[in-house]
Amino acid sequence: MKLSIAPSILCLLCFFCQTYADWQVTCNDETRIILAVCKENLDKEQTVFNKTFTKAYQGTEIEQMILKQYPSLASFLTAAFENVQNDFNSHKPDTFFISAKKQNGDVVGFAAFYKKPERVYLWQLAVDPEYQHLGIGQFLMYAFLNNWKDCYNITLATRRLNTHAIDFYKKHGFNTSNFVGDHLDPAVYIGMEQNINPEFIASITQKYEKLSDDNGIPAHKILSLPIVSPCITHIKIEECGEPLVDLYETNNKRIVPLTAFDSKYNPGHNDAGKVRQGLYEHLLLLLSYLPENVGLAVFEGYRPLWKQKEYFVKKFTELAQTHPDKSFKGLEGVYSETCKFVSPFIDNIPVHCTGAAIDFMLFTRNANDTMELLDLGKFGVIFGPNDQAKTLSENISVEQTQNRKMLLDAAAQAGLVNYGYEWWHYSYGDRAWAYVENKGKALYGLVHTEETNEELTKEDFLNSMQNKI
């Protein structure tokens, strides 16, 4: 399966996550269905919404009540979809869409949701009537629940008359809570307090991972949440005291600096080739699962905190300059978006500063001992915009997809975890790894404990940046 949830929400979303997969379903045309994060317009998703709503309510009292207030059912559906589309088009950070698409790009289903602190609201889950009863809705639900299994509460609303939808949601662990009337028909509010039913959530995770693994993509080895999500940053760290290993002093011909190919990839400090001992050992495992002529072209492993701050400010400035709202509130959204690509230095322990993560590309060494980078797509987010950054990006070629899959497969076998927003970023022993592997604790804290974060709040940072942009 070729995943793309993301957050992504989940938007999986306009930015989340996002991670999903190609999934073979039995359609009349024997096509494959791909779950993907929506990026631009939602015209195809609105078409699916219109068709499913019409099938569910045409000829019912719901339609009769709608026609008393709107000139047509179509005008009502356009209005109903408009608000969420506006949120999506304005890149509202808590609005996400995951679409189920055929290989030709046709959308056959989608899930749309809003993310709030400790709560997710599932606004719509719809499957084109022609593609219902093939398991597409179930897989959308699995992907949705798997990515938000740490949220305390998930809610949704559907119409009282839509008994098929109510039965579907109940089947997936939701409980009817109450009816809330409006100008059309009482809406059934359905909710799930996920910590009440851990067995169900565990079963969802198993089913989702099995669907993914059966189709060749190790989805469970990709972190599809933003790396600063509370469920990750709240994981405790028990420093194990492992030393750093300088990769460039190991004399391994399959590990070279990325500057050997292009000098622009100079990270600007002398410790970029260092990683924790545990990560180094897993990188050797990674190499054992890759073809013998393939190696790692390393951009950066360990990163000092001062460099992390530099990257964060650079990315924040880039995003803020193109953001239409330069107010404090608007810049809060820019801050959240920046955090998806560069781990913040405020109230956080950035993973590169622990020596637990590494950014790299792949290269091949030819028979005449010359080296050539493999094409996995555009590298990096600190050099400007990158619409190919997400591991499961839809904006990459067949060759790039195959090379990423080769890397993902080898990394999964080696016990490494990928960050879904950056195809080049892998880690071991950090909080992201602990979250994905369900370890309960991370192994590495700051390499240099004297590099404590200065007493700077997010509000202080935004105020200072507002004066510069």
Closest CA to 403 of 360, 348, 440, 369: 360
Q: Match domain 219-467 to its CATH number in 3.40.605.10, 1.10.3720.10, 3.30.1380.10, 3.40.50.2300.
A: 3.30.1380.10
Least confident of 135-144, 197-206, 446-455, 457-466: 197-206
For 35-47, what is the mean pLDDT?
73
Q: Is 273 a residue whose pLDDT tops 70?
A: yes
Rounded to whole angstroms, the Cα distance separating 127 from 125 reads: 7
Q: CATH 3.40.630.30 region(s) of the chain?
A: 12-210
The mean pLDDT value of the chain amounts to 79
pLDDT tens track for 331-341: 888 888 898 89
For 255-275, what is the mean pLDDT?
96
pLDDT tens track for 214-248: 445 555 588 877 888 887 888 999 999 999 999 99
For 62-85, what is the mean pLDDT?
83
pLDDT tens track for 275-289: 999 999 999 999 999
Q: Match domain 12-210 to its CATH number in 3.40.50.300, 3.40.630.30, 3.40.50.970, 3.40.50.11820.
A: 3.40.630.30
The pTM assigned to this predicted structure is: 0.60
Length of the chain: 469
pLDDT the model gives residue 451? 67
Bridge partners of residue 256, in order along the sequence: 297
Closest CA to 296 of 206, 188, 379: 379
Proportion of the chain above pLDDT 90, given as a percent: 35
pLDDT the model gives residue 39? 54
Which residues have a Cβ under 8 Å from the Cβ of 63 and sit 6 or more positions away? 57, 73
pLDDT the model gives residue 34? 65
pLDDT the model gives residue 194? 43
Rounded to whole angstroms, the Cα distance separating 258 from 446 reads: 24
Q: CATH 3.30.1380.10 region(s) of the chain?
A: 219-467
Rounded to whole angstroms, the Cα distance separating 3 from 43 reads: 21
More confident residue, 382 or 141: 382
Element (H, E) at 440: none
pLDDT tens track for 424-440: 999 999 999 998 888 88
Q: Is 377 a residue whose pLDDT tops 90?
A: yes
pLDDT the model gives residue 23? 39
Closest CA to 430 of 413, 420, 421, 417: 417
